[in-house]
Amino acid sequence: MKRTIIPIIILLSTITINAQNEYVKVGDKVPDFTVKMFDGSEINIKDLQGKVVLLNFWATWCGPCRQEFKRIEKDIIEKFKNGDFVFLPISREESYDTIAKFRKKTGYSFPMGMDPERKIFSKFADQSIPRNYLIDKSGKIIKIEVGYEAEKFDMLIKEIEKAISDNK
């Protein structure tokens, strides 16, 4: 009897962990939102139509987010700064002061959005960061990445290159 119960518990745990309650999927239009940026400006995602957007949800306390950020400036921002591309990182559930301290400590100066009440993130998922959504020029989600792995990040860079070159 115990032998049949254990595999069922493991199976149910695996299903729960893998579900990650994703509310959007590849092929969907990006949900509408306006994000307040660290500098006080606001960006509406609709205003970015016509550009390829890498929407990134992160937090200052998240180890994998910090690993990913170490590559962002050189491998994403610098590489695609002259193209039809926008990197839109949004900090999940953190205050302006927390982000300010993080920026001062790390030296990051690129634009960052803030989602202190998780209102934007909740349109996409309910857990797990870092979380990247690659959005094409028409506003359609073309790739979703959860977590950070160097190999997946390299593939994401190739997907950005492809999306920028499509329909030039």
Indicate the SS3 state at residue 91: strand
Tell the burial category of 46 from Cβ atoms under 10 Å away from its Cβ (0-12, 13-18, 19+).
exposed
**Which of 137-159 are b and which e, b meaning 16 or more Cβ less than 10 Å from the residue's Cβ?**
bebebbbbbbebeeeebeebeeb
Question: Over its length of 168 residues, how does the chain's per-residue pLDDT go in tens digits?
Answer: 444 444 444 433 333 344 456 789 999 999 999 999 999 999 999 999 999 999 999 999 999 999 999 999 899 999 999 879 999 999 999 999 999 999 999 999 999 999 999 999 999 998 899 999 999 999 999 999 999 999 999 999 999 999 999 865
In a domain, 2, yes or no: no
Check residue 126 and give its pLDDT.
Answer: 87
In DSSP notation, 97-113 reads HHHHHHHHHH---S--E
The number of folded domains in the chain is 1
Q: Which strand (E) or helix (H) includes residue 14?
A: helix 2-19
In a domain, 4, yes or no: no
In a domain, 7, yes or no: no
In a domain, 11, yes or no: no
**What separation, in Å, do the N-terminal and C-terminal C-alpha atoms of the chain show?**
62
Instruction: Show the domain range for 133.
Output: 24-165
Looking up residue 103, the CATH number of its domain turns out to be: 3.40.30.10
In a domain, 5, yes or no: no
Structure tokens at 112: 């960052």
Give the number of other CB atoms < 10 A from CB of residue 8. 9
In a domain, 9, yes or no: no
In a domain, 135, yes or no: yes
Indicate the SS3 state at residue 136: coil
Are 75 and 87 in contact by the 8 Å Cβ rule? The answer is: no
Could you say which DSSP state residue 33 is in? Answer: -
Check residue 98 and give its pLDDT.
Answer: 97
pTM for the complete prediction? 0.86
In a domain, 12, yes or no: no
